[in-house]
Amino acid sequence: MTPNTTRQPVPLPPYLGAAYYPEDWPETEIDYDIAMMKKVGITAARIGEFAWKKMEPAPGQYDFGWLHTVVNKLGDAGIAVVMGTPTATPPKWLSNLHPDVMSVNAQDRPASHGGRRHCCSNNVRYRNASARIVEAMAKEFGDDPYIVGWQIDNEIYSWDGCYCPTCLAKFRDFLRKKYGTVDALNTAWNLNLFSQAYDNFDEIPAPRDAWHNPHLKLEWLTFGNESHVEFVHMQADILHRYVKNGAPVGTDTMPFNGMDYRHLNEKLDIVQFNHYNEPHNEWQCCFWFDYLRNFKSHPFWNTETQTSWNGSTDIGQSIKPDGWCRVNSFLPLALGGEANMYWIWRTHWAGHELSHGSVLDASGRPMHIFGEVRETADLFAKTADFINNTKVCAEVAFHYTSRNWNMHNTQTMVAGAGNDRIPDFYKPLADCGVRVDVIDAHEDLSKYKLLVSPMMMTLEEGDLPARIAEWVKNGGVWIVGPLSDIRNEIGARYPHKPFGMLEELTGAEWLYGIPDRAGQISAVSAQTGEELGSSLWYDIWDEIPENTLAVVRGGHSAIDGKACIIRRKVGRGTVILLGTFLSYDALKALCAAALTEAGIPHGNAEGSLMVIPRKGEPVSANGETVSGLILVEYAGAPAAYTLDRPMKNVVTGETVSGRVTLGGYGILVLEDI
């Protein structure tokens, strides 16, 4: 079946979409589903991502007729299509023909058919089969005007990796390429310790045991994720050869930072992201949006989130309050995206994930959230011009890198201070009423006035140390720590100094690093004596009172009264060495002081507000631009913001000024007038 040549125009972004699995349903249901999508305001549908068997029922025998029918029906109804490649769910005939395609766990047990992502991304037979189905799809649909985007695979991630012979051989090649000789590897990893030194690369094992060399484990995690990046890039190369209608190519990712998102997206056109946050941690999706929008100039797509709750065979969440779905759906647009898509449109009637929330129940009846989804669609439509013509503006940067994520996974310094603590440094900063770009180690620093780098165990990523030093000396304000700059690129300590660059840059003298999981030590303000709610770790500095912001009390006489937070001038800039974990309120006060020093306006927000300045490109010869401000209350409680100028409410057309109030889960889209 060939594509329909008389086409209706597809809708433009922003898209409100949903994952749709027409292979689950009789064809007689498709028209009903599409009619209900139109009724609720859905403008995009993700399809195809798990339907390999129906597309290729036997090796080399393709059936795309049913898929053309679905694409045509959706497009003719004014619903854009995002097409997924189905490589996450290989058909049983592939493993019947080639049993070695299955991934192998640390206990040498091959995966069984019936889940997803159960094949090894490095296996040549799986790769070849994947390449063939992707090429067949690309040839069939590459110029289809109803398809506005492509999604490669589904939520690809290494986790613990695959332990098959192919992966082990490729891992050893990875180490050869990086270290050159086995002697160089032995030296870098200090393998004289525990008599671990190897005589050749072929002796190096995969780290199957919990107690293993942390450098080996770090490189294993890096290798596993790089293998998946290579697999995704293979598909992207194929799609780019055949997709001729300008539809961007991406892959839907998850809120785990072991994958190097910059490298992953190098060959992709668009960042795609899935999350399932709840009201108590809704702010964490903002952290991720502030991160992912920086990897591509094209606005990102939030390809999955729930309308209400998520669940597989059981429900892991609860009903959400009024307004939460609307805020959860609008935040991607507010923070730099152009799409929000629900998983799932209609709950599966049998098989996996029968308990997941949706727009329609398996029976086809609207879920209780149907009306709020309709309200969200109206909000998307009313704010579309402003969203499409402006971008997020930020003067604050926050470091978050894949290398450090994996390093924390292999050698967390202090129990309770793992990767999940890093966003805790972001929230009080964002709650100061400023926008934050969460960045990796390679982002340009020149556009920022304040940089926050917590728990950056290593700064050795490219030329980052030199760039930070230059940026600070030229006037930047840098909050760094705790547990930062304490490891080299492979996770080893510095033999003759405590830090990689901090002492050299600041001239400050570090004395001790002290763990405290029992609450024996407290940090107090050097100015007021107020306790700062500190915990877990304390860097102790020998510092003069003029540069001391906080001192420790208790623990041991050798540290009592000594500095744990200090401030040093460096050139025209400032470095604040934060040697401990602070309470939310204490950290927010520290961030507010740093914002003031950096010359960044703040303090207009009351309550739990995401404050999002936006500005567009010049739209006239005299340089006029569209600009404004989006305010989103994310915690379900009253909030307020004091405007410094009159602005227009984009939704109502009214002019507002002064102190504006928002109810729980309130949204204000304001344009400069």
| Domain harbouring 504, CATH code | 3.40.50.880
CA pair distance 424, 602, nearest whole angstrom = 19
Q: What is the pLDDT of residue 560?
A: 97
Q: What is the pLDDT of residue 6?
A: 60
Domain end: 354, 388, 422, which one? 388
Q: Are residues 31 and 104 in the same domain?
A: no
Looking at the predicted structure, is the pLDDT value of residue 2 above 80? no
pLDDT, mean over the chain: 96
Cβ count within 10 A of residue 659: 11
Average pLDDT of the residues in 470-496: 97
Query: Are the C-beta atoms of residues 573 and 475 closer than 8 Å to each other?
Result: yes
Which residues make beta-bridge pairs with 614?
392, 628
Cβ count within 10 A of residue 327: 23
CA pair distance 19, 51, nearest whole angstrom = 13
Q: Are residues 446 and 550 in the same domain?
A: yes
Query: What's at 312, amino acid-wise?
Result: S
Of 44, 42, 50, whose CA–CA distance to 22 is shortest?
A: 50
Looking at the domain assignment, is residue 376 inside a domain? yes
Residue-wise pLDDT tens digits, 101-132 = 999 999 999 999 988 999 999 999 999 999 99
Q: Any idea what the CATH number is for the domain that residue 35 is in? A: 3.20.20.80
Q: What is the pLDDT of residue 252?
A: 98
Which residues make beta-bridge pairs with 606?
640
Instruction: Count up the domains in the chain and report the number.
Output: 4
Looking at the predicted structure, is the pLDDT value of residue 8 above 80? no
Quote the DSSP letter at residue 336: T
Looking at the predicted structure, is the pLDDT value of residue 564 above 90? yes
Q: Are residues 183 and 278 in the same domain?
A: no
Looking at the domain assignment, is residue 231 inside a domain? yes
Structure tokens given for 497 = 């100094």
Looking at the domain assignment, is residue 546 inside a domain? yes
Looking at the predicted structure, is the pLDDT value of residue 638 above 90? yes
Average pLDDT of the residues in 521-530: 97
Q: What is the pLDDT of residue 1?
A: 44
Domain end: 388, 423, 455, which one? 388
How far CA 462 is from CA of 187, 229, 459, 486, in Å, comes to 21, 20, 9, 16
Residue-wise pLDDT tens digits, 239-256 = 999 999 999 999 999 999
Query: What's at 489, amino acid-wise?
Result: E
> Cβ contacts of residue 280 below 8 Å, gap of 6+?
none
Residue-wise pLDDT tens digits, 153-189 = 999 999 989 999 999 999 999 999 999 999 999 999 9
Looking at the domain assignment, is residue 91 inside a domain? no
Looking at the domain assignment, is residue 141 inside a domain? yes
Looking at the predicted structure, is the pLDDT value of residue 545 above 50? yes
Helix (H) or strand (E) holding 521: strand 521-525
Three-class SS state of 504: helix
Q: Any idea what the CATH number is for the domain that residue 639 is in? A: 2.60.40.1180
Helices in 352-411 by DSSP H: which ranges? 370-388, 402-411
Q: What is the pLDDT of residue 110?
A: 96
> Cβ contacts of residue 128 below 8 Å, gap of 6+?
none
Domain end: 344, 364, 388, which one? 388
Looking at the predicted structure, is the pLDDT value of residue 615 above 60? yes
Q: What is the pLDDT of residue 622?
A: 67
Looking at the predicted structure, is the pLDDT value of residue 623 above 90? no
CA pair distance 98, 82, nearest whole angstrom = 31
Q: Are residues 624 and 568 in the same domain?
A: no
Looking at the predicted structure, is the pLDDT value of residue 144 above 60? yes
Three-class SS state of 422: helix
Looking at the predicted structure, is the pLDDT value of residue 555 above 90? yes
Looking at the domain assignment, is residue 264 inside a domain? no
> What is the distance, to the nearest Å, from the Cα of residue 204 to the centroid of all Cα atoms in its chain?
32
Looking at the domain assignment, is residue 89 inside a domain? no
CA pair distance 205, 36, nearest whole angstrom = 55
Q: What is the pLDDT of residue 617?
A: 80
CA pair distance 596, 586, nearest whole angstrom = 16
Structure tokens given for 590 = 């520290």
Contacts 24+ apart (CB under 8 A), 556-559: 556/514, 558/512, 559/511, 559/512, 559/514, 559/521
Q: Are residues 69 and 130 in the same domain?
A: no
> Which residues of 217-298 form beta strands (DSSP E)?
249-250, 252-253, 272-274
Looking at the domain assignment, is residue 260 inside a domain? no
> What is the distance, to the nearest Å, from the Cα of residue 236 to the centroid of all Cα atoms in its chain?
20
Structure tokens given for 361 = 């129940």
> Cβ contacts of residue 545 below 8 Å, gap of 6+?
526
Q: Are residues 236 and 350 in the same domain?
A: no
| 161 class by beta-carbon count within 10 Å (0-12 exposed, 13-18 middle, 19+ buried) | buried
Q: Are residues 400 and 448 in the same domain?
A: yes
Three-class SS state of 632: strand
Looking at the predicted structure, is the pLDDT value of residue 4 above 80? no
Sheet holding 80-84, edge to edge: 249-250, 147-151, 80-84, 44-47, 15-19, 337-342, 300-305, 272-274, 252-253
Query: Are the C-beta atoms of residues 577 and 507 closer than 8 Å to each other?
Result: no
> What is the distance, to the nearest Å, from the Cα of residue 273 to the centroid of all Cα atoms in its chain?
7
Cβ count within 10 A of residue 673: 9
Domain limits for position 528: 396-598
Of 422, 402, 403, 436, whose CA–CA distance to 289 is shortest?
A: 436
Q: What is the pLDDT of residue 619?
A: 60
Residue-wise pLDDT tens digits, 588-614 = 999 999 999 999 999 999 999 999 999
Q: What is the pLDDT of residue 664?
A: 98
With vertex at residue 236, the alpha carbon angle to CA 24 and CA 60, rounded to the nearest 5 degrees, is 55
> Cβ contacts of residue 517 below 8 Å, gap of 6+?
414, 415, 416, 536
Q: What is the pLDDT of residue 341?
A: 98
Q: Are residues 365 and 405 in the same domain?
A: no
Q: Are residues 447 and 508 in the same domain?
A: yes
Query: Are the C-beta atoms of residues 428 and 548 closer than 8 Å to each other?
Result: no
First to last CA, the chain: 52
CA pair distance 443, 437, nearest whole angstrom = 10
What is the percentage of the chain residues whose pLDDT exceeds 70?
98
Q: Are residues 241 and 310 in the same domain?
A: no
Looking at the predicted structure, is the pLDDT value of residue 271 above 70? yes
Three-class SS state of 215: helix
Number of residues written out for the chain: 673
Backbone angles phi, psi at 378, to 5 degrees: -65, -40
Instruction: Return the biggest CA–CA distance within the chain.
Output: 82
CA pair distance 522, 545, nearest whole angstrom = 18
Residue-wise pLDDT tens digits, 360-415 = 999 999 999 999 999 999 999 999 999 999 999 999 999 999 999 999 999 998 99
Q: Are residues 427 and 553 in the same domain?
A: yes
Helix (H) or strand (E) holding 135: helix 124-141
Q: What is the pLDDT of residue 209?
A: 86
Q: Are residues 634 and 649 in the same domain?
A: yes
Pairing, β 252-253 against β 249-250:
unpaired
Looking at the predicted structure, is the pLDDT value of residue 5 above 70? no
